[in-house]
């Protein structure tokens, strides 16, 4: 019952995670769409300004910089079309993110879902400690609770086999349930190293004399201890990897915000100041 309860709680946590992640993905995709639209608008503005200056359609305007030619217009047009493609990708990405969110919430595919937030919100800076996160994960993760309690079940199987003095096949606890129903994480060494887990093992019955069956059950019990240790190691590794990724992302966000503010200010000044025929303008 404890193992089953841990599996239920883990499923609830994973469902909440899926909804949260898809929700933030929708907001992120909408932000991407707004950025793409702004880039398209900026390039369209610059292309129109350069094209009019090259053709001399601007009244009372000074001579444009020497590098403002038809070739310059073509280059801006190429970037403009590429930006339009990015805008299209962002629009379709936002729709796919909404579809993923509806699926995670168990909603109908044709349901119109309107989010209260339309933009990514800025969360308060988090003060996280890696050792505390690891400790919390080892205490609350369903996989750790399941494998730790499974060690006790495997140990009890050794005693159960010892209670039966008959020679022949004797059922084990695996006959009453599929211990392999939960998938074990598979390892990977392609590009990014990711160690795999160790699956539990117990046949539905053990055959032979009482002492032989106990020895065999004891071997499986020893392996269950290795499964529990491996699970704790994988959970610890996952927390450490996620913590380092969070630190990296937090640093990049701070740097990107500064670059964004400078870029927005530069774009505003460029639109407001008329072009002058100088190397600085070009």
> Would you state the pLDDT for residue 274?
54
> Would you state the pLDDT for residue 222?
92
- Per-residue pLDDT reduced to its tens digit, 9-54: 888 999 999 999 999 999 888 888 888 898 898 888 888 888 888 8
Q: Which of 166, 197, 144, 163 lies closest to 9 in space, CA to CA? A: 144
CB 77 within 8 A of CB 49: no
Which residue has tokens 């599996």?
A: 7
CA atoms within 13 A on the CB side of 32: 20
> Would you state the pLDDT for residue 216?
93
Return the DSSP state at 281. T
> Would you state the pLDDT for residue 218?
93
Q: Average pLDDT over the chain, rounded to whole?
A: 83
Q: Which residue has the higher pLDDT, 225 or 50?
A: 225
> Would you state the pLDDT for residue 34?
87
Residue 53 and residue 106: Cα distance in Å, rounded? 56
Q: Which residue has the higher pLDDT, 66 or 78?
A: 78
In Å, the largest CA–CA distance within the chain is 108
Instruction: Retrieve residue 239's tokens.
Output: 């927390």
211-to-160, 172, 190, 217 alpha-carbon distances in Å: 12, 15, 45, 10
> Would you state the pLDDT for residue 278?
41
- Reduced to 3 states (helix: H, G, I; strand: E, B; else coil), residue 151 is helix
Return the DSSP state at 188. B
Answer yes or no: is pLDDT of 158 > 80: yes
Average of pLDDT values for 151-170?
Answer: 90
Q: Which of 132, 154, 238, 161 lies closest to 193 in space, CA to CA? A: 238
């Amino acid at each position: 019952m404890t193992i089953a309860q841990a599996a239920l709680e883990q499923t609830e946590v994973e469902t909440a995670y899926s909804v949260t992640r898809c929700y933030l993905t929708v907001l992120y995709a909408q932000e991407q769409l707004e950025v793409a639209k702004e880039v398209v608008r900026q390039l369209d503005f610059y292309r129109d300004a350069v094209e009019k200056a090259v053709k001399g359609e601007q009244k009372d305007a000074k001579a444009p910089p020497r590098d403002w030619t038809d070739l310059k217009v073509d280059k801006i047009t190429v970037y403009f079309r590429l930006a339009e493609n990015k805008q299209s990708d962002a629009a379709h990405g936002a729709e796919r993110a909404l579809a993923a969110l509806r699926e995670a919430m168990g909603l109908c595919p044709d349901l119109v879902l309107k989010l209260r937030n339309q933009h990514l919100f800025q969360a308060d800076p988090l003060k996280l400690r890696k050792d505390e996160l690891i400790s919390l994960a080892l205490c609350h993760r369903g996989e750790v609770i399941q494998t730790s309690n499974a060690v006790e079940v495997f140990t009890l199987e050794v005693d159960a086999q010892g209670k039966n003095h008959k020679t022949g096949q004797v059922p084990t606890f695996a006959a009453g349930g599929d211990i392999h129903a939960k998938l074990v994480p598979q390892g990977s060494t392609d590009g990014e190293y990711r160690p795999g887990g160790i699956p539990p093992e117990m046949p539905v019955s053990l055959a032979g004399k009482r002492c032989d069956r106990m020895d065999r059950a004891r071997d499986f019990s020893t392996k269950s201890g290795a499964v529990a240790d491996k699970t704790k190691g994988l959970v610890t590794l996952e927390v450490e990897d996620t913590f380092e990724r969070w630190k990296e992302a937090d640093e990049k966000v701070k740097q990107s915000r500064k670059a964004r503010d400078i870029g927005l200010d530069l774009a505003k000044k460029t639109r407001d100041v008329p072009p002058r025929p100088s190397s600085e303008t070009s």
